[in-house]
Amino acid sequence: MESEKKYRNILENIEDGYFEVDTAGNLTFFNDSLCRILGYSSDELMGKNNREYTDDKNAKKIFKVFNEVYRTGIPTRAFDWELIRKDGSKCFIETVVSLITDSDNLKTGFRGIARDVTERKRSEEELDNSFKRLRMALGGTIQALAVAVETRDPYTAGHQRRVADLSRAIATEMNLDSNQTDGIRMAGVIHDLGKMSIPAEILSKPSRLSAIEYNLIKTHSQAGYDILKDVEFPWPIAQIVLQHHERFDGSGYPAGLKGEEILMEARIIAVADVVEAIASYRPYRPGLGIEKALGEITQNKGILYDPAAVDACLCLFRDRGYKFE
């Protein structure tokens, strides 16, 4: 009697709901906290089946979880599901469930703890929505910067977008995680941002550049970095922009980095940038075509360009039918 009194006292004074159900899902025992969570009185709740306060989707989820516990005898880890209160409102609860057996080790039902996590869920959803809005705003800002670059250099309009699309496809082919892939796409969209500092007459010059003009063009990666370095992106955008003309053997610019010293994101954009530039029209020459571009990265795979990025790019065009829009 003392043990039962202590047991009941504990259950009635915890904020979490405690419940016991038979193998059919009918409530056989519960504490006052479960009544409070569901909005029913004790008399109303006794004997209720879990189907009476769940929708079809959540009922299937509950059946699957309870069935697994029944089959294995192993308690569940905490999982979330949605309940319908007496007044019709919905709440989220976090639940752990274990099996009940009798003295003969026969399976007679389930017991569990249910915690109301509705406010936490709402906060998480609000935070997620805020994050989505921020990402949309960030994407819009980056797109505006890209348009500004293309206004200065109309002959290569669309170059950054095509490089960004190909870079993202290469990253996906290489099985990089989605966050890193997003960063690569964002950096690709503005990788030539520093060209805003280059005189327009050089950018649109219809003949080959002189050595002095070419050296001026080469400053655009550093200029892009200087514009972006103080912006707190969730990815190393400024460093990617700075490094996208570095080469695998150290022959690139501005710092002569080589191999693993170069960010993987920059190595991927370097491949996409070269392929798009060779394949497309330039003020001083017509487009040379995709086969010429793929020949360049094939010939210099492991020399100028990252081997994994080259292999992924070749696979996209030759095996998966990738095409520039």
Strand order in the sheet with 27-30: 27-30, 17-22, 107-116, 90-101, 79-84
**161 and 107 both lie in a single domain:** no
Dihedral sign of CA atoms 294, 296, 299, 304 in order: negative
| Spatial CB neighbours of 79, under 8 Å, sequence gap ≥ 6 | 65, 94, 95, 96
Range of the domain at 230: 128-318
**24 and 172 both lie in a single domain:** no
**172 and 43 both lie in a single domain:** no
Could you identify the residue written with the tokens 């099985």? 175
Mean pLDDT of 266-271: 98
Contact 11, 31 (CB under 8 A): yes
17-22/79-84 β-pairing: unpaired
- The model's pLDDT over 151-193, given as tens digits with 9 standing for 90+, comes to 777 666 688 999 999 999 999 999 999 999 999 999 999 999 9
What residues form DSSP beta bridges with 96? 113
- The model's pLDDT over 91-142, given as tens digits with 9 standing for 90+, comes to 999 999 999 999 888 999 999 999 999 888 888 888 888 878 887 887 787 8
Q: Which is nearest to 279 in space by CA: 301, 265, 296? A: 296
Write down the mean pLDDT value for the chain: 90
Mean pLDDT of 65-89: 91
Indicate whether 67 belongs to any domain: yes
**79 and 205 both lie in a single domain:** no
> Residue 195 maps to which CATH number?
1.10.3210.10
Identify the H or E element spanning 157. none
* Count of structural domains within the chain: 2
**112 and 217 both lie in a single domain:** no
Indicate whether 263 belongs to any domain: yes
Q: Is pLDDT above 80 for 283?
A: no
Per-residue confidence (pLDDT) for residue 156, from 0 to 100? 64
**76 and 210 both lie in a single domain:** no
> Residue 50 maps to which CATH number?
3.30.450.20
Contact 287, 281 (CB under 8 A): yes
Indicate whether 122 belongs to any domain: no
Mean pLDDT of 34-56: 91
Q: What is the percentage of the chain residues whose pLDDT exceeds 70?
A: 99
Per-residue confidence (pLDDT) for residue 170, from 0 to 100? 97
Identify the H or E element spanning 27. strand 27-30
**168 and 313 both lie in a single domain:** yes
Q: Which of 310-319 are b and which e, b meaning 16 or more Cβ less than 10 Å from the residue's Cβ?
A: bbbbbebbee
| Dist CA 244 CA 277 (whole Å) | 13
* String of DSSP letters for 189-236: HTTTGGGGGS-HHHHT-SSPPPHHHHHHHTTHHHHHHHHHTTS--SS-
Per-residue confidence (pLDDT) for residue 206, from 0 to 100? 80
Per-residue confidence (pLDDT) for residue 155, from 0 to 100? 63
**189 and 62 both lie in a single domain:** no
**88 and 162 both lie in a single domain:** no
Indicate whether 323 belongs to any domain: no
| Dist CA 34 CA 48 (whole Å) | 12
